[in-house]
Structure 1
């Protein structure tokens, strides 16, 4: 086949749940709790592993949003969770994230994995797993 008649290469499209997860991080980065609320299912639970004061299960959209606000407050607005890889299929998604925050005399600079369960186009569960749980627990304590 001559170059003039070459077929165009297919365009790869992301799974809608990959876009949903990315939209969540973009809204989080902007502090847009209204958009985040629209992405959360009414029976969402965000499970934060570890033994620090912020660890535990947040079981409603309001509790999840309150957790995010608390993270921003404790870090003086410095907390960032920046995804460097996002993958998703029909019911689940995963984001590999770089986390960064500052508190007086402390810096958190690490990585984590957020695992998502998604139903009907909304997030029903988030599990946050820090690469160095001891460092995360110490930072927030």
Structure 2
């Protein structure tokens, strides 16, 4: 059976299951979702509150934005730079977020425009968390070469 609708007595019966979120999700899932919402709104103060004082954001690759950002201020500066270089078009939207007490992962769709270039790709953001604060972020682009070229 393919999981599609079946006919039963003249009516259509669906065998597909729809996604129903759990009655309650892990608090770190909520924390990460709220962080992406704040990022989309440009709420720097909220994002700053999520970052531990000893935080690092690692962005692998060879592009001009790749490297390690080791303080909340450096990380926030990196985010501002993404918006500046893309003329305010940069956005990252999670389509799946998972987390436990110490780790989190967000699968994200990223989009940005620059003169003559469009970035529309996926990435994975991997988090380490400690008592409701982010201590580490690793952003892994689906196609690092395309990502590096776009920001160069």
TM-score over 0.5 for the pair: yes
Distance 2:95 2:126 in 1: 14
Question: Which consecutive unaligned segments of at least 5 residues does structure 2 have?
Answer: 1-21
Q: In the comparison of the two structures, how many residue pairs are matched?
A: 131
Question: Which consecutive unaligned segments of at least 5 residues does structure 1 have?
Answer: 1-10
Which residue among 58, 73, 76 is the counterpart of 2:84? 73
Alignment of 1:33-72 (within 5 A): 33-72=44-83
1:125 corresponding residue in structure 2 = 136
Distance 1:98 1:136 in 2: 13
SS of equivalent residue, structure 2 residue 135: strand
Cα deviation digits, residues 1-29 of structure 1 (max 9, x gap): xxxxxxxxxx6211000011001100000
Runs of 4+ in 1 over 4 A off after TM superposition: none
SS of equivalent residue, structure 1 residue 97: strand
Distance 2:87 2:150 in 1: 13
| RMSD over equivalenced CA pairs, Å | 0.6
Distance 1:119 1:67 in 2: 22
Give me the TM-score of the superposition, normalised by structure 1: 0.92
1:14 corresponding residue in structure 2 = 25
Q: Highest CA radius of gyration, 1 or 2?
A: 2
Please state if 1:138 is matched with 2:149.
yes
Give me the TM-score of the superposition, normalised by structure 2: 0.85
